[in-house]
Amino acid sequence: MTKETLYYDGACPLCAREMKHLAKLKRESLDLVDIHGLEITDEMPSKENLLLNLHLKRGEEWVVGADANVAAWQHTRFGALWAWLRWPVIKQIVDPVYAFWAKRRYEGLYGDLPAKSDITDTQTAE
């Protein structure tokens, strides 16, 4: 499996708890990076985008939101248990629920979402 990097919000208690659990189970093929200790480069999404949704870097591709979460768990022995969340019918339910939760989580920690024009990832503020 190719080396991938998951960027997460370490200031989010739920996120930090999940990453602590994931860190114990993951293989060497996944790096976990807290956004708050990161220097953002031009090749990366903005810090606001990174804070709004989970982001997983796979080669040159950015995987975002629930897709990033499921992709990260593929680096554990429990990956198959998460794969069903990407089945087409289930994905149609999971993605809006994740987007709603991510928006509320961001607003609870940081206040209002950035303007839509500042959000460039596949999942946008609604």
| Residues 61-87, mean pLDDT to the nearest whole number | 96
Residue 124 lies in a domain: no
Residue 44 lies in a domain: yes
Using one digit for the tens of pLDDT, what is the confidence trace for 40-57? 999 999 999 999 999 999
Confidence of residue 116 (pLDDT cuts 50, 70, 90): low
Using one digit for the tens of pLDDT, what is the confidence trace for 14-31? 999 999 999 999 999 999
Q: What span, in angstroms and rounded, lies between the C-alpha atoms of 30 and 91?
A: 23
Residue 123 lies in a domain: no
Residue with tokens 């607003």: 107
pTM: 0.87
- 12 touches 20 (CB < 8 A): no
Confidence of residue 88 (pLDDT cuts 50, 70, 90): very high
Total domains, the chain: 1
Structural domain that includes position 72: 4-118
- Is 90 exceeded by the pLDDT of residue 124? no
Residue 41 lies in a domain: yes
